[in-house]
Amino acid sequence: MSPKSMQEAVHKTVRGRAKGGESSPKSIVFLIILWLAILFALVFLAVLIVTTIVDGWNRLDSRLFTEYPASDPEEAGARPAILGSLWVIGTTAVMTIPLGVAAAIHMEEFANRHHWFSRLIEVNVQNLAAIPAVIYGMLTLGAMGLMGVSNKNQVWVGALALSMLILPVVIIATRESLRAVPAEIRQGSLAVGATPLQTVWRNTLPAAVPGIATGSILALSRALGEAAPLLLLGGLVFLSFDPNGITSGYTTMPIQIFNWTSRPQAGFHELAAAASVLLLVMLLAMNALAIVIRNRYQKRW
């Protein structure tokens, strides 16, 4: 083959168009379809956010934070719901994170992975993560009935339901970040005479903390936006005081929004929109924090 024809042959095969590469009509049509799919999602989201902000704009003021629910939408605010959300989420975090991290450490670092019991738990955790939130509300309701707790509108009862809801998520996130710590690090630790527990406590776990923090924050932000299980647990109440402890009565922002939306007066609908914007901002802030932690502290091995 002459150098010239060789060059031509190479030219023909290497260039994309010859084989239906990136610039062929087929690929371009496919690319456009992908773009439209993304556009649809983004437009939908933007419309939702913009209309909510427009609806709630007039009520996005200090009254939202300072006032208690009232029969007159002009005088009503979400103060107890905001505080209630903070109490419930705080309690959920305290209940879930230590338990979830401990469970994940056991499963990842100590349990015999091939034992049938470990596998059973593993499959269970995976499945629990996919169970609808309302089921956890029913479960907690049943448990409270068995325990003879008649007043279910308490912060810790709501937190218990949310805790069960996000426990599988925390466990899975923690396991993932523990697994990301290379085996060589554990071996290095054991090789200088550290016990397996010391290895976890001083080496593996600290290295996994950024991932655990990120996963936990994302899980908590899911719990923050959850209304269904709390509705079952009597979270839908008219509260005229600040929740102030784990046995206090409470309502949360999603429930308050749900409540206001179902009222006939337009004023309450504005209020619901304003509270939604606030909830959205809180969720975005939590997710942003998770991303910051991930980007700043996550280790590259």
Partner 1 sequence: MNASTDNARASQTVGSTNTIVHGSALPSLEVPVIDCDSVSIFYDDFRAVHDVNFGCKRNEITALIGPSGCGKSTVLRSFNRMNDLIEGARVEGSITYHGEDIYGPDVDAIEVRRRIGMVFQKPNPFPKSIYDNIAYGPRVNGMKVESMDDLVEEALTKAALWDEVKDKLKQSAFGLSGGQQQRLCIARTIAVQPEVILMDEPCSALDPIATLRIEDLMQELRKDYTIVIVTHNMQQAARVADRTAFFTAEASDTTGDRTGVLVEFGDTATIFESPHDKRTEDYISGRFG
Task: State the residues that interact with partner 1 by CB under 8 A.
Answer: 112, 114, 182, 184-185, 187-195, 198, 202-203, 206-207, 299
For partner 1, the closer of residues 38 and 191 by Cβ is: 191
Min separation Cβ 194 and partner 1, Å: 4
Min separation Cβ 298 and partner 1, Å: 11
Min separation Cβ 122 and partner 1, Å: 16
Tokens 């209630």 found at = 84
Min separation Cβ 299 and partner 1, Å: 6
For partner 1, the closer of residues 16 and 188 by Cβ is: 188
Query: Over the range 184-201, which residues count as b (16 or more CB within 10 Å of their CB) and which as e?
Result: eebeebeeeebeeeebbe
How far apart are alpha carbons 131 and 145 in whole angstroms? Answer: 22
- Backbone φ and ψ for 250, nearest 5 degrees, come out as -155, 165
Min separation Cβ 69 and partner 1, Å: 50
How far apart are alpha carbons 237 and 263 in whole angstroms? Answer: 14
How far apart are alpha carbons 257 and 264 in whole angstroms? Answer: 13
66 and 225 in contact (C-beta within 8 Å)? no
Question: Within 13 A of 160's CA, how many CA atoms are on the CB side?
Answer: 18
For partner 1, the closer of residues 199 and 256 by Cβ is: 199
Min separation Cβ 205 and partner 1, Å: 11
267 and 195 in contact (C-beta within 8 Å)? no
For partner 1, the closer of residues 173 and 181 by Cβ is: 181
For partner 1, the closer of residues 41 and 197 by Cβ is: 197
Q: Quick one: which of 103, 121, 110 has its CA closest to 174?
A: 103
